[in-house]
Structure 1
Amino acid sequence: MLLEENNYDEAFSLFKKLARETPSVQSLNNLAWLMLREEENRDDARALLEQALVLNPKSSFPYMMLGEIALHNRQYEKAKNYLQKALMFNETEEATYNLAMAHFHLGEFEQAATVFSCCEGDSGLTQLHEVVSWLNAGHIDKAKALLANWNEEADDYTGAIEIADVYIELGCYNEARVQFEKEWNSCYLAPYIVSRYAYTLWKLKDYDTCRAIIQQAIQQNKEEQIDEQERELEEHWTAQDRDECIKELTEQQQTLEMLWPRLENGVVPPFDYDMYPNGGCQLFGCMQHGHPEYEEVARGEIL
């Protein structure tokens, strides 16, 4: 109740007291959840959850969090084992997604694609993960078919720039260009995005436009440096903050200025694709999400 009322310090104190004085699946799990979600202390959360496992929990919650932590720590085989155990108790969206991610990082691309396809959503980032999984599995036709039916009106539609990036890996440069053009004038021209679009135009032999978009990015970068130089210093924007920002922008400018020569030398800008674990609520007795107390879970063997 204290947590629901945003009395975090009091709630946290009580959770710690319960875990210390009456360690149980619920008290250890709930304190671990706070450590993971609020304190961002994965090591302490993992230690608490491992204590809970000794008690043979009849719930997916501890296993889901341990799987998530293992993903963050790049322990993918361990993550897969935890998440498969979690799904034996309850097939949740978070556990399914995280299991697919574990498969992906283990090089089990077909399994990853199949599991990602079980997740909810329409034309969102999860579906793009499925496309990339099929791509890595060598099923190019499946990857292309999914992208060909992308729904721009979907609620969780992922950005055109991200789609363009994947089209490049499929060798579909015309399709990639169409996607880049949709958002080019509204996106931040980071060196990675510029390099990927420039490479697309280079492959299409549109050298004039390729030069133009590189120069556009360089000019935008120079203007941003001027803006940061003239920005008024304050408590939350110190001279050190300014200098670090300008240093980063200067490095980005140098990268952009080298882009054209690198393309001339046949350098292919590498594909940089990230996935991040899903979190969610694994708190016994959470009123907001309607989670029962662990005793109720154990009796019914749910969650």
Structure 2
Amino acid sequence: MGPINYRERWENIISENKRAIMLLEQNNYDEAFSLFKKLARETPSVQSLNNLAWIMLREEENRDEARALLEQLLVLNPKSSFPYMLLGEIALHNKQYDEAKHYLLQALSYRETEEATYNLAMAHFQLGEFEQAAKVFSRCDGDSGITQLHEVVSWLYAGHIDKAKTLLAKWNDEADDYTGAIEIADVYIELSCYKKARAQFEKEWNSYYISPYCVSRYAYTLWQLEDYDACRAIIQQAIQQNKEEQMDEQQRELEEHWTAQDRDECINELTEQHHTLETLWRSLENGYVPPFDYDMYPNGGCQLFGCTQHGHPEYEEVTRGEIR
């Protein structure tokens, strides 16, 4: 009797879908991708089409192909939040916010998840439904993180200034998911709390990458506080830093991944930033108010049927009612 081939026996026990996920977790991407495609082609089902769509979205960054796969499985009447979560996320990326809200509400009707809740709040925000966005963001986990800052900004845009200020007043800079003082300062400016904004800027200014946007917002804050010397000093500091960056880029050695074209594009961008900084003082004198630039990005997560790492059963187990 020959030796027992445990690997062969194990592969006969687990499903092909779980084997594909194991290959993915072991960084055997090409083999995993090939198996996911084979399963979707030979046995198209809610599970195989959803999992391939997830791969197309997360790994291949092909939203169109992912969406086509998900729309194909919708005719199978999936009884899981996963395909609807993915469709909602794709719609957010495509700025189709009504469609995103539709799919995310369907996802949440099956299962309350952090990702779907966050993305639904983002859809409300982008549709101008700011109060509803704030309420949905408030259902998300976290302490003084970016999600809570989204809630603050949502209350601000909804006209509930006192609620926004109250939330910021409770901010915990010792929290694990603390957003960062510069981001907090930026929101305080919109609340016309310039002293508080300045205090936040000062916390991180010398340890933060100083972009022209941040410089303009900090300089505006100091201008509003009529501290013109400090305002001019901040601008001059940024101009000097920009000059040093240009010099560093000019002296940087060219290589395969840093060509002369890359260098020239970088220097051109730095030159444009230099001009913006050089004219900032005069712009402030003329009443310039740097616009608030606030972005939100969809939340991702794992929506793979059969992913043991995240405790997701295969679709057949979902439909038997083991989870919803």
TM-score (norm 2): 0.92
Report the counterpart of residue 245 of structure 1 in structure 2.
Answer: 266
Which string of whole-angstrom CA distances, capped at 9 and with x for unpartnered residues, describes residues 184-240 of structure 1? 111111110000000000100111110110010000000110111111112222111
One-letter amino acid of the counterpart of residue 233, structure 2: A
Q: Distance in 2 between matches of 1:156 and 1:254?
A: 36
Q: Distance in 2 between matches of 1:212 and 1:115?
A: 42
Offset of residue 301 of structure 1: 6.7
Q: Determine whether 1:258 maps to 2:276.
A: no
Q: Determine whether 1:282 maps to 2:298.
A: no
Q: Distance in 2 between matches of 1:174 and 1:46?
A: 47
Contact 1:80 1:99 in 2 (8 A): yes
Report the counterpart of residue 174 of structure 1 in structure 2.
Answer: 195
Q: Distance in 2 between matches of 1:223 and 1:243?
A: 16
Q: Distance in 2 between matches of 1:137 and 1:23?
A: 45
One-letter amino acid of the counterpart of residue 259, structure 2: T
> 1:106 pairs with 127, 132, 144, which one?
127
Give the number of aligned pairs: 303
Report the counterpart of residue 169 of structure 2 in structure 1.
Answer: 148
| Bigger-Rg structure (1/2) | 2
Q: Distance in 2 between matches of 1:31 and 1:159?
A: 37
Q: Distance in 1 between matches of 2:58 and 2:207?
A: 33
Q: Distance in 1 between matches of 2:244 and 2:145?
A: 33
Report the counterpart of residue 315 of structure 2 in structure 1.
Answer: 294
Q: Which structure has more RCO (C-alpha within 8 Å, separation ≥ 6)?
A: 1
> 1:188 pairs with 201, 205, 209, which one?
209
Q: Distance in 1 between matches of 2:69 and 2:183?
A: 38
Report the counterpart of residue 206 of structure 1 in structure 2.
Answer: 227
Q: Determine whether 1:39 maps to 2:24.
A: no
Offset of residue 140 of structure 1: 0.2
The 5-angstrom pairing of residues 33-72 of structure 1 reads: 33-72=54-93
> 1:13 pairs with 30, 34, 37, which one?
34
Q: Distance in 1 between matches of 2:285 and 2:274?
A: 18
Q: Distance in 2 between matches of 1:145 and 1:17?
A: 54
The unaligned stretches of length 5 or more in structure 1 are: none
Contact 1:58 1:302 in 2 (8 A): no
One-letter amino acid of the counterpart of residue 100, structure 1: A
Q: Is 6-15 or 276-285 further displaced after alignment?
A: 6-15
Report the counterpart of residue 92 of structure 1 in structure 2.
Answer: 113
Which string of whole-angstrom CA distances, capped at 9 and with x for unpartnered residues, describes residues 95-135 of structure 1? 00000000000111111000000000000000000000000
Offset of residue 302 of structure 1: 3.1
Report the counterpart of residue 271 of structure 1 in structure 2.
Answer: 292
Contact 1:25 1:52 in 2 (8 A): yes
TM-score (norm 1): 0.99
What is the RMSD of the two structures over their aligned residues, measured on CA atoms?
A: 0.8
